[in-house]
Amino acid sequence: MKKSVIIGILTTLMLLITGVAAVNSVSASTNSINTKEFLTGDKLQSTKVKVYIDPNVSSGIKQDIQWGVKDWQQSTNKIAFSYTNNPNNATIRFTTGTFDNLINAMTYDNQTIPNGKNKLIVNAIIKINRDLIDTDKLTNFGIRIVEHEIGHVLGLADIKDSGLKYSTVMWWKDPNTGITALDDRAINSIY
């Protein structure tokens, strides 16, 4: 199992949820942005994504996961999400744990197939830091962390261009926004 992706450091206050739009609006100026820098080169082997949530995941984080999955489902018609009770046939397995430093979550490619210079992701594990995310209730913070990590599994890269920090769910540090039209465009370019 290879460590592949790190989401950045907790720097924002947790926000209470007041409703989450499936696709967050971005300014018209982002229409000209080339989404190539959004791509890792890797992508899912199958566009049918089965989600498994470990039974020990707390109720708050479980809701974050369910909202994050729903938001992705509503944002793209290229990927079909469903749930499975069997971790062995899951595309994404969600679990929780702790990290030594202020990492919100990590995504691990669990099984991959070579695809030229890159790889097709067969399945992945997303581990969420239960020390940094409210374990009792749904939060925007938690949802955005989930959405960011799912983005990695779909083939999206961390965005470190600070000019885009409010325009993509893939900004690598504080989760400023949910899934945007830019993210959706990046997905559409690879599936």
Q: How far is the CB of 147 from Zn ion (least distance, A)?
A: 11
Site string for Zn ion, 7-46 (x = CB under 5 A): x---------------------------------------
CA separation for the pair 87, 135 (Å, rounded): 22
Q: How far is the CB of 43 from Zn ion (least distance, A)?
A: 16
Neighbours of 54 (CB within 10 A): 15
Residue 138: closest CA among 19, 38, 41, 21 = 19
Taking contact as CB under 5 A, which single stretch among the options 3-11, 31-39, 41-49, 128-136 is the one that binds Zn ion? 3-11
Token output for 30:
């982002």
* Interface with Zn ion, residue 124, by CB under 5 A: no
Question: How would DSSP label each residue in 106-138?
Answer: EEEEEEEEEETTEEEEEEEEEEEETTTS-SSS-
Q: How far is the CB of 184 from Zn ion (least distance, A)?
A: 17
* Interface with Zn ion, residue 158, by CB under 5 A: yes
| Residue ranges that bind Zn ion, judged by CB under 5 A | 5, 7, 158
